Amino acid sequence: MAINHPSFGVMDPDRVIIFDTTLRDGEQSPGFSMNLEEKLRMAEALAELGADVLEAGFPIASPGDFESVQSIARRFAKDGPVVCGLARTSPGDIQKAADAIKDAARGRIHTFVSTSPLHMRVKLRMEPEAVLEMVTASVTMARNATADVEWSAEDGTRTEMDFLCRCVEAAIKAGATTINIPDTVGYAVPEDMFRIFNTVRERVPGADGVILSTHNHNDLGLAVANTIAAIRAGARQVECTINGIGERAGNASLEEIAMALRTRQDAIPVTNGVQTKNILRTSRLLATITGFDVQPNKAIVGRNAFAHESGIHQDGMLKDSSTYEIMTPESVGWTKSSLVLGKHSGRAAFKDKLKALGYEVGDNAMNDAFKRFKDLADRKKVVYDEDIVALVDDEVVRANDRIKLTGLSVSTGMHTRPIASIALEVDGEVREGVAGGDGGVDATFAALRVAFPHDVNLKLYAVQSVTGGTDAQARVTVRLEEEGKLVDGQGADTDTIVASARAYVHALNKLLVKRARTAPGEFKSEMGQALSA
């Protein structure tokens, strides 16, 4: 029977809904937190990618989460994605989620409770019958707030089948329109997944009138395989994240699912709305925002995913690329010629290039990016697509920063103590600092602490090369910690020390945003005093 869904209308039985949870399950993993501007930018990119539902956050978790879900909900019109807020079963949680999505053109509340014997006994300390009552009560309350309600059986794959079916039936009776059965701990194998979805579909009254959804974690590296198995057994919503980020080993990766469905249409004859050409730039945007690059051999988006090193493979590729490529690099957004512009390229060529790379940049950001491009082209022999992506992402990432790096000079070498002298603009006020250190980067960070006194812990410092060669841009990630809160900053430049300073300043800006979002008194630091002084 065709499903008449409150957000999607009468559904094509072969259409798979792409539910992206990068901004919720992805963002809640250590080190991956994003500020509001970054979440909005990711949400836009995910909408352009063709995600049908964006799980934008967990509104009760913090005022910042609430604001993000609310802002993303307000961002999209009816033709945009459904915006979803997560809630546990308590009325407070559900009310917060309802408030956060209230202004959405199409909004969803996603409520969940644990159903496995282990979670009910140890985590909830509740009897199964009481959990069952909570399912009905929570879905009923959510349904009174919005027509589009998803219910999840947390630890669903370790739940007894009879009890799972009773819970699903209760949720459907109470008005849930999507039923999600997560493999919360990444324990299932594809055969389990197929059996569970088949059983629910066949045994639960009303299951043919709702969307069945699958949500898989990657603890055994099986998240995508399990997702495919669930689709084959009738699931028509897949929950996933860009680059597979998420709790512990991560969630099923959106790009891998999308390309498996596209490449193996013969084996899995379903459709979806992913614009695969946008995959690479969405993946890179997330990497820039979070500071975590994917590993080189990551399927679809890793640097080596379409690289051919051995002579035998290269020979085959030259004869016919299908000898060693099951999909084209262009189909996911890789461009063939990576050599692009030089120092004589003008504004129009630069703008064209940005468009080809998928960027629509406003006039101010365009002017700043063009200035930085000219500067880069002066210093670097060839400017590659990757350089431009790093530069523009860097520009967009720092568009709303309160602290700006305006000058840096460092003297360093053998048998001499490195000294850095730095200039900042903090809310428009000029600040300067000079300090020595154990190396150029250490001296730079010390000078930053002089110009802008603060007391945070440097947790991670990582440098990556954007392209090859000694004139390549360095992309630096800096992770800072203040009272248990972690933030990552990124910076790119041909000079590693300048890139390091940019990354540190970016991280400081994120701490300021975090501080402003935290309840007063909860988050004290010298940094806050420095700003309000």
Positions touching Zn ion (CB under 5 A) are 25
Q: Shortest Cβ distance from residue 113 to ligand KIV (Å)?
A: 9
100-130: b (≥16 Cβ within 10 Å) or e: bbeebbbbbbbbbbbbbeebbeeebebebee
How many CB atoms neighbour CB 165 within 10 A?
Answer: 19
Amino acid making up residue 379: R
488 Ramachandran zone, left/alpha/beta (phi>0; psi -120 to 50): beta
Q: Shortest Cβ distance from residue 226 to ligand KIV (Å)?
A: 12
Residue 68 binding result from ligand KIV, Zn ion, none, given CB thresholds of 5 to 8 Å by partner type: none
3-state secondary structure of 437: coil
Q: Shortest Cβ distance from residue 100 to ligand KIV (Å)?
A: 16
Residue 359 binding result from Zn ion, ligand KIV, none, given CB thresholds of 5 to 8 Å by partner type: none
Residue 70 binding result from ligand KIV, Zn ion, none, given CB thresholds of 5 to 8 Å by partner type: none
Specify the stretch interacting with ligand KIV by CB under 6 A; choose among 126-134, 176-184, 310-318, 413-421.
Answer: 176-184
Nearer to ligand KIV, 25 or 148 (CB): 25
Specify the stretch interacting with ligand KIV by CB under 6 A; choose among 179-187, 318-326, 436-444, 461-469.
Answer: 179-187
Nearer to Zn ion, 25 or 37 (CB): 25
Residue 65 binding result from ligand KIV, Zn ion, none, given CB thresholds of 5 to 8 Å by partner type: none
Site for ligand KIV in 135-164 (CB under 6 A): 152, 154
The residue assigned the tokens 């792409």 is 18
3-state secondary structure of 433: strand
Amino acid making up residue 420: A
Q: Is the dihedral of CA 380, 385, 390, 394 positive or negative?
A: positive
Structure letter (DSSP) for residue 26: I
36-68: b (≥16 Cβ within 10 Å) or e: bbbbbbbbbbbbebbbbbbbbbbbbbeebbbbb
Q: Shortest Cβ distance from residue 300 to ligand KIV (Å)?
A: 23
Note whether 213 binds ligand KIV by CB under 6 A: no
Site for ligand KIV in 109-138 (CB under 6 A): 112
Q: Shortest Cβ distance from residue 207 to Zn ion (Å)?
A: 22
Q: Shortest Cβ distance from residue 147 to ligand KIV (Å)?
A: 20
Site for ligand KIV in 9-38 (CB under 6 A): 25
String of DSSP letters for 445-511? HHHHHHHS----EEEEEEEEESSSSTTPPEEEEEEEEETTEEEEEEEEESSHHHHHHHHHHHHHHHH
Nearer to ligand KIV, 224 or 341 (CB): 224
With CB atoms as reference, the residue minimizing the distance to Zn ion is 25
Specify the stretch interacting with ligand KIV by CB under 6 A; choose among 180-188, 370-378, 441-449, 495-503.
Answer: 180-188
Q: Shortest Cβ distance from residue 110 to ligand KIV (Å)?
A: 7
Secondary structure (H, E, C), 185-252: CCCCCHHHHHHHHHHHHHHCCCHHHCEEEEEEECCCCCHHHHHHHHHHCCCCEEEEEHHHCCCCCCEC
3-state secondary structure of 426: strand
Nearer to Zn ion, 179 or 405 (CB): 179
Q: How many residues form the binding site for ligand KIV (CB under 6 A)? A: 9
Q: Using CB under 6 A, which of 59, 64, 85, 182 touches ligand KIV?
A: 182
How many CB atoms neighbour CB 428 within 10 A?
Answer: 7
Angle at 133 between CA 132 and CA 136, to 5 degrees: 95
Specify the stretch interacting with ligand KIV by CB under 6 A; choose among 178-186, 370-378, 436-444, 510-518.
Answer: 178-186
Kindly list the residues in this chain that would bind ligand KIV in the complex (CB under 6 A): 25, 112, 152, 154, 180, 182, 184, 215, 217
